[in-house]
Amino acid sequence: MGKDVIIALDFDSKEKTLAFLDRFTGEKPFVKIGMELFYAEGPSIVREIKARGHKIFLDLKLHDIPNTVKKAMAVLSSLDVDMVNLHAAGTRAMMSAALEGLTRADGTRPLLIAVTQLTSTSQQSMEEEIGIHAPLENVVIDYAKNARLAGLDGVVCSPLEAGRIHEACAKDFLTVTPGIRFADAKADDQVRITTPAKAREIGSDYIVVGRPITQAEDPVAAYRRCVSEFVG
């Protein structure tokens, strides 16, 4: 599977989202629908964007008891998205149940990836607020190993951790990495970040890019810059 840039559609309405996508007349970018847009518009926005020909990463980060997650994943699978996720902190039992629920009767399913630690989490906040007293990168690796053992396809992680995750899990274990900023852009609320070019060098399989594209003066040009720097 080749590298790709996923645009985070961080909008609060169908109108804003479709107006943004209408600017892309020469390509159909892989897009991410997160909580804000999904909660505002519901499953219909997923169907509409899919009908336009876009690949979709449905980023809802499920985290609940195994049976609840299994049933929820069955519903999400029916939306014909290409990738979904959950929190690795839910344990292998939850991840295995999610995989079971996600798999359709014909054996097909979207890619399933696990969130390790959010890219807004620092070593200090993890220790002081979450109560995990270990090097952050080691915690991420442990989460990734659990996801691999549960049969998942990959993880969401900082691009800074992508190389080590491939070493610990497998080269074909996907690393989907937010926390991407251009070298000449501000970090916003992200902590563990890097550039598209550096993410490529480290080994990310997909990069997820929101504000540097969606808030750019020319989003199409910003997207193409991302693709050029990351995919080549």
Q: Spell out the domains of the chain, with CATH numbers in brackets.
A: 4-230 (3.20.20.70)
Categorize the per-residue pLDDT at 1 as very low, low, confident or very high, splitting at 50, 70 and 90: low
- Cα of 138 vs its chain's centroid, Å: 20
Helix or strand holding residue 84 (H, E): strand 83-87
Instruction: Please tell me which residue in 61, 145, 186, 198 is annotated as part of the active site.
Output: 61
167 pLDDT exceeds 80? yes
pLDDT of 117 reads 84
Q: Worst-scoring range by mean pLDDT, 59-63, 118-122, 164-168?
A: 118-122
Binned at pLDDT 50, 70 and 90, residue 191 comes out as low
Burial of 9 (0-12, 13-18, 19+ CB in 10 A): buried
Provide the mean pLDDT of the chain.
Answer: 93
Is the pLDDT reported for residue 26 higher than 60?
yes
Per-residue confidence (pLDDT) for residue 73, from 0 to 100: 98
Question: For residue 187, is pLDDT > 60?
Answer: no
From the number of C-beta atoms within 10 Å of its C-beta (0-12, 13-18, 19+), residue 106 rates as: exposed
Q: Please report how the helices 66-77 and 91-102 are oriented relative to each other, as an axis angle in degrees rounded to 10.
A: 30
Note if 186 is an active site residue: no
The whole-number average pLDDT for the span 177-202 is 79
186 neighbors 215 (Cβ within 8 angstroms): no
Question: Which residues have CB under 8 Å from 143's CB, separation 6+?
Answer: 88, 89, 114, 116, 117, 155
Instruction: State yes or no: pLDDT of 25 exceeds 60.
Output: yes
Q: Per-residue pLDDT tens for 64-91?
A: 999 999 999 999 999 999 999 999 999 9
189 — pLDDT class (breaks 50, 70, 90):
low
Q: How far is CA 70 from the centre of its chain?
A: 19
**Reported confidence tier of residue 186, pLDDT bands at 50, 70, 90:** low
Could you tell me if 94 and 69 are in contact, meaning their C-beta atoms sit under 8 angstroms apart? Answer: yes
Judged against a pLDDT cut of 70, whether residue 34 lies above it is answered with yes
pLDDT at residue 104, as a whole number: 96
- At residue 193, the pLDDT reads 73
pLDDT at 159: 86
